[in-house]
Structure 1
């Protein structure tokens, strides 16, 4: 596959680039600062901004999938509206370019997923990252109307660490609860994102990416 990665200089996006190349895919990194992306075999780096629909469409042309791992840092100044401003432009560019698959990285705790969280989790989502998560929630409401073959991915807390042996990918409809505050390495989420991009069976779904034991299924006593 040929995969476009947005947010390729970030914690998640840089790992997605690495994983996609490792799996043998061709990768296009669409970034604001090309110097921040190390040259690698199979990687094309394109400079551009997230508000330039025509530039993105040109960069995306010929790709099979696009993975958006863009996000806002905790220290970002308000108002926080990055996703609300850019996601409609990104999806329009994907349509213009005829890209078949779109995978959007969100976060567990965004929108109604917070109802499945533990009390400590909900406390964090309602305070520390409340503005960032609200921006994500509002932007994602428009995705079903985009006409794209999309999947929204909600990973749990993330950290820089060696990949663990097993990570779990489940449709949120099958998840009753995410106990505690499970944490996964960026590398595991990157692997899941590349695999999800290749899975048309997840089109139109929202999925959780968590640790092996970091979820309880519907019908399980909680």
Structure 2
């Protein structure tokens, strides 16, 4: 498949690129400063904080799918980049008639309200007692602006008319790829407190062949 990877040199993005190349896919890597990419990968420099729409459209043109690991380097200081960047990606995809997009969000986002979803559930249905009453509220208190931006990002996809999927992992680690993780549609994973970035990338690639994940939110955890 012909794939466009956004934020291709970040924590999850570099795994997406490496695993896609190993799987024989034709990869275009989008990053602010593309570097250290595998041989044969087409690199396109785009700063998603201030996107060059012409360059972004050229990166997306002809793709079978876009996989985005876009997120802030510092969740407290850089909140806002994910929704702004995703809006630009969606606009470019619509202009180029590319339909499939898979993005990374985060497990605590479900109960966060946005204008298009003013009364979300009070708790994620997959969370246990600890996460409902301590873990998730604490992380939202610490990174509230970041999670509000991710919730807005998800709303942008819901309104896009595209064939979208949202991956919601919990705490990300740099442990090596295992290929062993749990997933669930429209809920977090009970007792799932972390997952390797490499496994999130592995699952994002796998979902390209899973039509049941289209227009769904997918929880993932070890």
Same-fold status (TM-score > 0.5) = yes
| Distance change in 2, residues 1:192/1:165 (3 Å) | closer
Change (3 A) 1:9 1:124: farther
Would you say 1:124 and 2:138 are equivalent positions?
A: yes
Query: Are 1:24 and 2:24 counterparts?
Result: yes
Alpha-carbon separation, structure 2, partners of 1:122 and 1:52: 36
Q: Show CA shifts across 1:36-70 (max 9, x none).
A: x2242331111123222222111111110001101
| Structure 1 residue 58 corresponds to structure 2 residue 85 | no
Q: 1:114 to 1:133 in 2, by over 3 A?
A: farther
Q: Which runs of 4+ in 1 moved over 4 A?
A: none
What value does the CA root-mean-square deviation take over the aligned residues? Answer: 2.0
Q: Structure 1: which 5+ residue stretches go unaligned?
A: 212-222
Alpha-carbon shift at residue 114 of structure 1 (Å)? 7.6
What residue in structure 2 maps to residue 12 of structure 1?
12
| Counterpart in the other structure of 1:146 | 160
1:39 and 1:180 map into 2 onto residues whose CA distance is 35
Q: 2: CA distance between counterparts of 1:196 and 1:141?
A: 20
- Note closer, same or farther for the CA distance 1:163–1:200 as it changes in structure 2 (3 Å cut): same
Describe the shift of the 1:76–1:9 C-alpha distance in structure 2 as closer, same or farther (beyond 3 A). farther
Q: Counterparts of 2:71 and 2:202 in 1: how far apart (Å)? A: 18
96, 109, 123: which is aligned to 1:115?
A: 123
Tell me the TM-score normalised to structure 1 length: 0.84
**CA pair 115-73 structure 1, distance change in 2 beyond 3 A:** farther
CA distance in 2, matches of 1:133, 1:93: 24
TM-score (norm 2): 0.84
CA shift digits 1:108-161 (9 cap, x unpaired): 111328823313321332222221111111222121221211111111211001
Q: CA deviation at 1:11?
A: 0.4
Report the Cα distance in structure 2 between the residues aligned to 1:165 and 1:5, rounded to whole angstroms: 20
Question: 1:103 corresponds to which residue?
Answer: 102
Q: Which structure 2 residue ranges, 5 or more long, are not aligned?
A: 112-120
